[in-house]
Amino acid sequence: MFVVNNLHQPFPKLCRYFSFTQTKTYTAKHVTPLTSPISTPSHSHFPTLISLISLFISHQHGFNRCSPRVPSTLPSLQRRPRRTLSQRRNRPIQQRLPNRRSIQRRHHQPPNRPLRPPLPPSNRLLFFPKLPLLIYIHGGAFCVCSPANPAYHSHLNTVSAEANIVVVSVDYRLAPEHPLPIAYDDSWEAVQWAAGASEPWIKDHADLGIVFFAGDSAGANLAHNVAIRGGTEGFAGGLKLQGMVLLHPYFGGEERDELVAFLYPTYGGVDDLKIHAQKDPKLLDLGCPKVLVFVAGMDLLKERGKSYYEALKKSGWSGSVELVETEGENHVFHLFDPTKENSAAIVKQFVSL
C-alpha cells in the first residue's frame, strides 16, 4: 500500500492528479512498466508507483510510454532520514514557525458556531456611517433552538446583507431547565446590554437611534413583551425603537395552553398577559411607532397572529400596524426552505419596514 498524497511539491500537477483521500493499491497490469533500470527501494509496491508516474509524465510531456527516458528532475522516492531531536531543535527559526495552513486549521471555527467578524482598523471608521441595529429573538416554543442554529444564522445573514444593518441575536435560557419567565428577563437584559454599547461592534458601527426588534414564533412573543416593557420603563443608553417585526408570532388563544403551563410554573391561564397579549390593556404603551405582523396560511397560529393585529389596532395605540399573510405556507417556512420565492418575499418585506 502506498499513500500517493505523499508526493513532493515540485510536481504540483502530479500531486493533483494523484490526490486521493484514502490509501490505494495499484497493479502494474494496467500500465506499461519502465524499461530503464532505476534503483528503487525494496518495497514491493514502489515499482507500481513508478509505472504510474511514468504514464503520467508521458501523457503530459509527449514521451513514448516505452521510452527509457525519464526527466532528471523526477523527485526521489527514497524517504528522507528522520531528524533527531537535537537536529529539529537546531533548525533555523524560519523553519520552525507554523505555516499559514496550520494556523488556519488551529483556529478553524465549526460551521454551526456564530463567528464574530474582525473589526476594521480604527482609521477607517471615519469613512463608514453607523448602521441601524436589529435585535432578533429566535423562536422554538421557549425550549429549543439558539442563535447558533444554522437556519437562524443563515436567515439573519441574509437580512443583514439585504438591509445593510448590524444584527444582535439574543441567546436566552431555555425552559424547562430555566422555566419561564426567565426567557423574558434574559431578553430584556440583552436589549439593555445592547443599549449600553459596551460591545465595540455596537459602539462603533450601530446607530442606537435606529433600532428594530424582531422575532419568530415564541421569539415574537418575547420581542413584543420587551417592547411593552421598554414603552413603560424606558430603554437604557438612549435606545430608540423604530419598529418591530413579528414572524408567525405565538400568542395564547381562548383556552389554557398546557405546554406553556409545563414550561411556566406561575402561568395564570388565559389571564396571563405575557402569553395572551391580545388582552393586555397596556398595548397602547407599545414602545415603537410601526409593527409588521407575518402569518402563514396553513399555520395553526395564524388566527392568534390575526387577533393580535386586531387588538393592537383597536387599543388606541398611536402607531401603524400591517398584516402580511402568505397563502399555502406553514409555520416559519422561510427558515426551513429559504430558497422559496415566498421566503425571499418575506425578507424583502422584512427589510422594507
Please give the positions annotated as active site: 217, 299, 331
* Rounded Cα distance, 228 and 67, in Å: 85
Taking residue 323's Cβ as centre, other Cβ atoms within 10 Å add up to 17
Task: Provide the grid cell at 55.
Answer: 504514464
